């Protein structure tokens, strides 16, 4: 069973920085896109940023220029560096990865979520 383990997050002041990390421990057969989603209070879950095995990225307009997603294919990890944080970035952040645990179908896996709170 693949589990995504998230770390980072916490409390930051507006204008500050935080970094989130996510790892899929153990061996997997293949990993496609890795991404970060967030869900603010009373809001729907939304895509923050995604990164593909070739390094191409896709990010939301609201975070462009402030957040940077990266990945280490050898370590099955993805990180989200968040700078110039705003109060509206306050949310639960979730890691998602498309993984084939063994030869066969690629499945969606989600982390447990990590809370980011940005204060004035």
Walk along the chain (120 residues) and give the pLDDT tens digit of each residue. Answer: 778 999 999 999 999 999 999 998 888 888 999 999 999 999 999 999 999 999 999 999 999 999 999 999 999 999 999 999 999 999 999 999 999 888 888 999 999 999 999 999
Check residue 87 and report its DSSP letter.
G
Instruction: Report the alpha-carbon angle 84-110-56, nearest 5.
Output: 55
The answer to whether 28 touches 53, Cβ cutoff 8 Å, is no
pLDDT at 103: 86
Name the residue among 78, 101, 103 with its Cα closest to residue 22: 78
pLDDT (0 to 100) of residue 101: 85
CB atoms < 10 A from the CB of 12, how many?
A: 17
> With left for phi above 0 and alpha for psi between -120 and 50, is residue 90 left, alpha or beta?
beta
């Amino acid at each position: 069973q693949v589990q995504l383990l998230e770390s980072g997050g916490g409390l930051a002041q507006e204008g500050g920085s935080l970094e989130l990390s996510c790892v899929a421990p153990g061996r997997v057969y293949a990993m496609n896109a890795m991404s970060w989603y967030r869900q603010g209070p009373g809001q729907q879950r939304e895509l923050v940023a995604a990164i593909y095995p070739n390094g191409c990225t896709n990010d939301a307009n609201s975070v462009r220029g402030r957040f940077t997603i990266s990945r280490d294919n050898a370590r099955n990890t993805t990180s989200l560096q968040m700078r110039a944080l705003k109060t509206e970035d306050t949310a639960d952040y979730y890691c998602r990865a498309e993984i084939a645990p063994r030869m066969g179908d690629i499945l969606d896996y989600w982390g447990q979520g990590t809370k980011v709170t940005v204060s004035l």
